[in-house]
Structures are given as C-alpha cells and as structure tokens.
Amino acid sequence: MGKNSRFCFSNLSSNLPITCLITFTTIFLLRVLNVIYRTGKPLGKRVSPQWPLSTLIVLGSGGHTAEMINLLLVLRKERFTPRFYIAAATDNMSLQKARVVENSLADSSETKGLSAEFMQIYRSREVGQSYVTSVWTTLVAIAHALWLMIKIRPQVVLCNGPGTCIPLCVIAFFFKVVGIRWSSIFYVESIARVKRLSLSGLLLYKLRIADQFFVQWPQLQRQYPRAHYVGCLM
Amino acid sequence: MGEARDGVKVKRVVFVTVGTTCFDALVKVADCQEVKDELYRRGYTDLLIQMGRGSYLPAKSTGDDGSLAVDYFTFSSSIVDHLRSASLVISHAGSGSIFETLQLGKPLIVVVNEDLMDNHQSELAEELAERKHLYCSRPLTLHQTIASMDLNSLVPYTPGDATPVAKLINRFLGFPEES
C-alpha cells in the first residue's frame, strides 16, 4: 500500500506541469460556464446594489450615438456615475455630442461631483483595410481595450452596435470570469436593424455575453427569443 | 401652384441630403432634367442639394426662366434648419437623417444606395415605407416616385421613447421603480 502511494506520488510530481494545466483549464471552463449561467439574472435578487454604478458607454458613428444619447437622457445620472465614454479614434463627432449632453447636465444639476470622462480607442480595422494588416491592428485594439478596461473596471456597460464594443464586452466578460469585476452588460440593437442582427449583436447574443439584449423591432424578437422588444428609441 | 395674392411665388424647397456619405447616384439623379421637371410640375420652386463627400457637382440655377432654382453645398454642422424650411425631403437611407426628418414631420422620400456592400439600410427604409411614414425609392425610379406620390396619404411618425429600456435596465440592476 505504501509503495503504491509513493509510486502514485512520484508519477504525479513528474506530470505536475500537465496536471496544473489541466486543473487551471478545468477551473477556468467551469468559471466560464458559471458566469454564463449567472449572466442575465437580475442583480437585485442576488446582491444588494452598491449605488452609484460606474458606467461605460460605447459610442459609434452617426445613428449609434444619437440613439445612445436618447437612452442616456432617460437614465437617472446619479445612479450611473462616474460615466466613461469611449469612441473610436477616428470618430470625432460622437465624443463631441456626448460632451454637449454632459455639459447640459452639469448646468442643470445641483449635485456636484458628477463626473464623466471621454476616451478614444483604436479600431480593429478601418473600412477597406487589408485583412493581413488587420490581424496586427486587431491585436493592438484588443491590447488598448484591455488597458482602458483595467483602468475603468465598469460595473455597467451600455452599447448599441458599433464594432468598437466587441473587444470591450469580451474583456468585461473575461473580468467576470477571473473575478476582476462583475459587470452588467446591456446591448441595444440599432433601430436600423429590422430583420437581421448586426455582427456585434449576433456575437453578443449567441455567446451570451450581454446580460440584457434589447431589439427595437418585433421581427427580431421573434427570431431571437431571449431578446427584449422595447419599440423604437428614435 | 403656390402663388400668393400679391403675385410673389411662395417658396417650396426640396431638400436633398446624403448625410456624411458619398452618394453621387442620388445627387446626379436629383439634378437630372426629368426629376427637376417633375418637381416643378408638382409645385416646388427650389432644389437644395447637400452633396456630402460626393464628386458630382450639380448645375446651379436661379430658376428665373420658369424652372427650378438649384443650389448645393457639401456639409453643414447641422441640417436641421434646412430640414425645417423644406417642403419635401429626399434623403439617403441613413437612420439619423430619416428620423431627424420624420421627427420634424416633413414629407420624406428615402433613396436607397444600391452601391453599398451590405445594404441593411434598405431594411429600415422599407419597413417605414410599409408603415406609410415615407416613400422608398431607388435612384432610377425617383422621378416615378415623385410623379405618383400622394403626400397626404403619409402617416405622421410618432417619435420613439427610450423609457421602456431604462425601466428594464433599472429593474435588472435593482433600482427602485420611478415614482
């Protein structure tokens, strides 16, 4: 009996790196499954909310930002603060529009200390860029997203479609898995998507990364039953 | 045909917009004689084209010779004023332009850009056309749409509301209901 256990032990120690790898991988996968299971379950029942919640708002060109601003105008700012706005590096208009909204808030509100920060993120791929060079730029974009997310560690993520939101949401999910920060990820599919989801929407829906997925047209809700139909925002 | 009592013609402006895109096909067809004649026939006096990043330059005209007055520009910081003073808007299928126009209650013809790769924009235009909030057209059929349109049959668009989303978000996070 003693010899057997010594024999087993020596076998184990010589395979230690592999054993560790298998153990960590298993724990990681179990964690991922656990996070997916908990994704979409309302917070209120599990843990008492720690208000206010730091919020990341992902902006995109044109219609995306207009829709997001419409949503921000009906959210109580004192619940979602501090607010971090991220837009693609080549998109100047979106951050400008967000600043206008924040300035009008600062004017009309008596509460001091409502803070907002505005940041730009590298794009994974510009329109028309070759796919070969895109591999490198995508890696740079992911690294940049990771850097920004580590700084922000938001509790709430609001996004509505632009490609810029994918690295940020994936990293937010990763933070949930490894326990860096639990966040609630809300995705509103653009009003321009009537019959088909955008690529961003499809990814976040299928991979179950978004806690709540909102669509603006009933046709989409029929195709994607886990989505919430909320009517038109514009 | 829009003449006021003192003989001065009431201005009825058609505003064409391509947003921040390049949509030469629309600018060209709006500037073509067929479309301009049709617009004049329907009682419009001025044609103002916002041509964005396109390269086709329309021909300016004062309209003194009993035809449409034509003018154009590339961009402006906000087209809201142009939309407000228009009697008819002809727009590309961008959601921003569409909803800005509908929210001002202006009659709208949306022209879908067939040169775009993944044309999901046409989904929105077609859906809103089905609900009779606007007319949907292609560059080559624009003059037919103008000839046959009945603007009185358009249904006014009720602006949307983001409150349902906010309610669901608040409930999910455990915030108390708004009073």
pLDDT at residue A115, as a whole number: 78
pLDDT at residue B2, as a whole number: 46
Whether residue A44 is contained in a domain is answered as: no
Assess whether A34 and A54 both reside in one domain. Answer: no
Cα-based distances in Å from B151 to A147, B102, B103, B105, B109: 53, 13, 16, 12, 10
* pLDDT tens, residue by residue, A187-198: 999 999 999 999
* pLDDT tens, residue by residue, A198-222: 988 999 999 999 999 999 999 999 9
Q: List the beta bridge partners of residue B90.
A: B16, B109
- How many other CB atoms are there within 10 angstroms of residue A101's CB atom? 18
pLDDT at residue B77, as a whole number: 79
Boundaries of domain holding A12: 1-38
Chain B neighbors of A184, CB-CB under 8 A: 172-173
Contact A74 B175 (CB under 8 A): no
pLDDT at residue B7, as a whole number: 56
Assess whether A63 and A171 both reside in one domain. Answer: yes
Q: Which residues fall within 8 angstroms of residue A52, CB to CB, at 6 or more apart?
A: A78, A79, A80, A81, A82
Q: Is A191 on the interface with B (CB under 8 A)?
A: yes
Cα-based distances in Å from A125 to A88, A95, A131, A136, B164: 11, 20, 8, 9, 34
User: For residues A168 and A109, which has the higher predicted lDDT (pLDDT)?
Assistant: A168
User: A55-64, A171-180, A220-229: lowest mean pLDDT where?
Assistant: A55-64
Contact A230 B174 (CB under 8 A): no
b/e A72-99 (16+ beta carbons within 10 angstroms → b): bebbebebbbbbbbbbbeebeebbebbe
Contact A194 B163 (CB under 8 A): no
pLDDT at residue B43, as a whole number: 93
pLDDT at residue B1, as a whole number: 47
The torsion angles phi and psi of B95, rounded to 5 degrees, stand at -65, -35
Contact B162 A74 (CB under 8 A): yes
> β-strands B69-73, A184-188: how paired?
unpaired
pLDDT at residue A124, as a whole number: 76
Assess whether A20 and A84 both reside in one domain. Answer: no
Contact B165 A214 (CB under 8 A): yes
Is pLDDT at A136 greater than 50 in this prediction?
Answer: yes
Among B103, B165, B168, the residue with its CB nearest the CB of A233 is B165
What is the C-alpha to C-alpha distance for residues B151 and A61, in angstroms, rounded to an integer?
Answer: 31
Is pLDDT at A29 greater than 70 in this prediction?
Answer: yes
Assess whether A27 and A64 both reside in one domain. Answer: no
Q: What is the CATH number of the domain that holds A57?
A: 3.40.50.2000
Assess whether A24 and A108 both reside in one domain. Answer: no
Weakly modelled stretches of chain B, pLDDT under 70: 1-8, 117-118, 178-179
Separation in Å, CA of A217 to nearest CA in chain B = 10
The CATH label, of 3.30.70.20, 3.40.50.300, 3.40.1710.10, 3.40.50.2000, for the domain at B13-173 is: 3.40.50.2000
Is pLDDT at A110 greater than 60 in this prediction?
Answer: no
Is pLDDT at A159 greater than 90 in this prediction?
Answer: yes
Assess whether A13 and A66 both reside in one domain. Answer: no
pLDDT at residue A48, as a whole number: 57
Is pLDDT at A139 greater than 50 in this prediction?
Answer: yes
Chain B neighbors of A71, CB-CB under 8 A: 162, 165-166
What is the C-alpha to C-alpha distance for residues A92 and A11, in angstroms, rounded to an integer?
Answer: 61
Residue of A194, A213, A219 best to disrupt the B interface, most CBs of B under 10 A: A194
Q: Which residues fall within 8 angstroms of residue A105, CB to CB, at 6 or more apart?
A: A77, A114
Task: Verify cis geometry, omega within 30 degrees of 0, for the bond prior to B58.
Answer: no
Assess whether A18 and A86 both reside in one domain. Answer: no
What is the C-alpha to C-alpha distance for residues B140 and B155, in angstroms, rounded to an integer?
Answer: 25
Count of the separate structural domains present in chain A: 2
Whether residue A45 is contained in a domain is answered as: no
ipTM of predicted complex: 0.85
* pLDDT tens, residue by residue, B8-24: 678 999 999 998 889 99
Domain ranges of chain B: 13-173
pLDDT at residue A3, as a whole number: 56
Cα-based distances in Å from A146 to A122, A160, A169: 11, 20, 10
User: A3-7, A68-72, A167-171: lowest mean pLDDT where?
Assistant: A3-7
Q: Is B117 on the interface with A (CB under 8 A)?
A: no
Tokens found for residue A150: 């580590």
pLDDT at residue B6, as a whole number: 53
Tokens found for residue A201: 């929407």
Assess whether A34 and A127 both reside in one domain. Answer: no
Q: Is A202 on the interface with B (CB under 8 A)?
A: no
Assess whether A1 and A58 both reside in one domain. Answer: no
Q: Is B52 on the interface with A (CB under 8 A)?
A: no
What is the C-alpha to C-alpha distance for residues A52 and A154, in angstroms, rounded to an integer?
Answer: 11
pLDDT at residue B8, as a whole number: 65
Assess whether A113 and A222 both reside in one domain. Answer: yes
pLDDT above 70 as % of chain A: 86
